[in-house]
Amino acid sequence: MLSKCMDTIKGLKLRKMYEGDFFLTWEKTMDELQGVFAVADALRALREHNISPRIFDSGLGVSLFRDNSTRTRFSFASACNLLGLAVQDLDEGKSQLAHGETVRETANMVSFMADVIGIRDDMFIGRGNAYMRQVAEAVRQGHADGILAQKPTLVNLQCDIDHPTQTMADTLHLIHELGGIEQLRGKKIAMTWAYSPSYGKPLSVPQGIIGLLSRFGADIVLAHPQGYEIMPEIEALAARQAAENGGSFRRADSMEEAFDGADVVYPKSWAPFAAMERRTQLFDQGDQAGIDRLEQEMLAQNSRHKDWQCTEEKMRLTKEGKGLYLHCLPADISGVSCESGEVSREVFDRNRISLYKQASYKPYIIAAMIFLAKIQDPSAALLALAAGQMPRQMK
């Protein structure tokens, strides 16, 4: 596996990844996406062979989570540790941000020994990705001014537009499950809304999935009830990319239509784009009562679509009844975490091991993003790590 990965990396144009950031998957070339996949697989192979993949013997990874997280938070910490970095979480409530400290000042003050900054900011439309770019520009300027000895890499751990570490991990899982990246071509992939008893789930997963998988020649179907539209520009992007890469993109009005003959299904709840825009406006106005009313409206709207649930009956509609079920987790499981939710207990339990494998790729994807931003010759560096045979733990 390791030699195959290094052969792949040698044939890719990855120079622009060096000292770069990772904001949105569709800003990266196909070579750069494949480079992340190959490095992730190589790092995983090193660890599984008990070889330390540390490229740092000191340094800091700074994490800022403006939304709750389990998998991504631990994946970022695991990725940093895998490469030899310590992790410090920036708690805004305990920082000078609460006293009006500027983004530029905060970014520089936390970055004197930082090599990477990971940010999750997915709550408000038009805010998260823009904030990440502000931070990246602040540390770039700090490095240019001689304040910072190095420019920390910015990794998008989920924003209002995209969730690149999740969707890249999902895609690497598909690559392994289907038998290669070329096997994505022609596969029917259903990204569908699913009922949830909660409100406010970000748009970034469905948008990220159609924005990434439409580049690999897959046949993408986006399904949701009327009123649950995503950002129109991302839908247009997916349609354009699908046409350019020999695939297709279309919308469906029912989960059944999307599941019919699908190779892969991804039933996941999200809040309507229009509602998330309203939520941002209300937040800007300081109208908490308005936000509370909006939440109740959306919960009532959700309740009219409880039939949008992934069940064994719907899974039988997939190709030969064997479609691969994906979810970014945690899923709303009917009869387990809620009375009625995104997926039935039977479907989730039957796919539990596959789902955990899907999640296991995320630490390596994040580590690969960092690795490619910090190492100018990734193939040579991986070869040196493998040749050094420094054990991760003594046996």
Going by pLDDT thresholds of 50, 70 and 90, the confidence category of residue 125 is very high
- 368 with 346, same domain: the answer is no
The DSSP-derived string for 20-80 is --B--GGGS-HHHHHHHHHHHHHHHHHHHTTB-----SS-EEEEEESS--SHHHHHHHHHH
- Supply φ then ψ for residue 201, to 5 degrees: -65, 135
* HSE of 25, CA atoms in CB hemisphere, 13 A: 37
> What is the structure's pLDDT at 394?
55
Which range (66-70, 229-233, 262-266) has the least confidence? 66-70
Q: Same domain, yes or no, for 51 and 193? A: no
Whether residues 378 and 254 share a domain: the answer is: no
* Residue 312 reports pLDDT greater than 90: yes
Give the pLDDT band of residue 99 (cuts 50, 70, 90): low
pLDDT at 305 > cutoff 60: yes
pLDDT of the residue at 2: 80
Residue 275 maps to a domain: yes
6 with 144, same domain: the answer is yes
Cβ atoms < 10 Å from Cβ of 53: 23
Same domain, 104 and 44: yes
Q: Are residues 153 and 173 in the same domain?
A: no
Residue 222 has pLDDT above 70, yes or no: yes
| Position 345 pLDDT exceeds 60 | yes
Are 122 and 260 contained in the same domain?
no
- pLDDT reported for residue 180: 96
Domain that holds residue 287: 165-359
Of the pLDDT bands very low, low, confident and very high (cuts 50, 70, 90), residue 96 is low
Residues 145 and 227 in one domain: no
393 domain residue, yes or no: no
Q: 92 in the Ramachandran plot: left (φ > 0), alpha (ψ -120 to 50) or beta?
A: alpha
Based on the structure, what is the number of domains in the chain? Answer: 2
pLDDT digits (tens, 9 = 90+) for 144-200: 999 999 999 999 999 999 999 999 999 999 999 999 999 999 999 999 999 999 988
pLDDT in tens, 53-94: 999 999 999 999 998 899 999 999 999 999 999 999 998 775
Question: Residue 98's pLDDT band (boundaries 50, 70, 90)?
Answer: low
Residue 394 is assigned to a structural domain of this protein: no
| Any domain includes 12 | yes
- Return the closest-CA partner of residue 238 out of 208, 201, 264: 208
Residue 304 lies in a domain: yes
Q: What is the CATH number of the domain that holds 89?
A: 3.40.50.1370
Question: Are both 147 and 291 inside the same structural domain?
Answer: no
CB of 167 closer than 8 Å to CB of 208: yes
Do the domain assignments include residue 48? yes
